[in-house]
Amino acid sequence: MIIERPSAARGLLQADQRESRHAFSFGGYYDPAWMGFGVLRVVHEARVGPDAGFEPHRYANMDILSLVLNGALAHPELDGGGAVQAGQWQWIGAGHGLAHGARNASAEQPLHFLQFWIQPDRLNARPACVRATPAAAGEGEWSLLASRDGADGGLPVRQDLRLYSLRLGRDGRADCPLAPGRSYWLQVVRGQVEANGRRLEAGDALGLHGESGALALAGRGETAAELLWFDLPPLA
């Protein structure tokens, strides 16, 4: 099974210098046909104006991975180490519960970030937060960003998953091996790519489950495509 989630079909929420696009139901956006993809519960793309943001909120038993694309992301209640900068990743394991807001750290420049919420495989763990700046990988080379408890390198997550990034120039190629007992989520961050004949652009995504063989990727834009690949447990 391969499902397509085009960028334009995502839920859109706008308020107070904030624009949020959601692949799955979240907050004020609800679509019973899109309630998540297995343990991947939220795919959120946000654009936030200068000195604006999201008010503090409390949540528990959720792992949150954030990638800042442009600008700087501040968590006033958590930021002992300052704001998360463009190109950096942050993992928050909410565990038994924490509260924080998310704001644009700049009073002049806009903020653009991606966020992924993952249902962990354990309840009421101790809250934790880790940041990382991934080492630059060569074009067409997979880079491991996150894995269970960080045991295989990258950021820790409390779930049986591996998250990779990939950069493909025009006509650059790569294959994603598929195991029938796993599910996968491909997210296009920037640029254009072709995936087994499907043309995808920034914001588009594919979900795969019960597939075998490989997903063939090819860069198709004038600028390099940037992709994220989630290797996930099977859908329940």
Q: Over the stretch 2-58, which tens digit does the pLDDT of each residue have? A: 999 999 999 999 998 999 999 999 989 999 999 999 999 999 999 999 999 888 889
Give long-range contacts, CB 8 A cutoff, 24+ apart: 151-156. Answer: 155/65, 155/89, 155/91, 155/130, 156/91, 156/93, 156/128, 156/130
- Does pTM surpass 0.85? yes
Residue 68: strand, helix, or coil: strand
Across the range 185-203, mean pLDDT stands at: 97
φ/ψ (deg, to 5) at 8: -70, -20
CA atoms of 229 and 174, how far apart (whole Å): 12
Interval 55-70: pLDDT, tens: 888 999 999 999 999 9
pLDDT digits (tens, 9 = 90+) for 67-109: 999 999 998 777 666 899 999 999 999 999 998 888 999 999 9
Strands 72-74 and 198-201: unpaired
- Answer for the pair 180, 210: CB distance below 8 angstroms, yes or no: yes
d(CA 227, CA 207): 13
pLDDT in tens, 118-172: 999 999 999 999 999 888 778 888 999 999 999 888 899 999 999 999 999 999 9
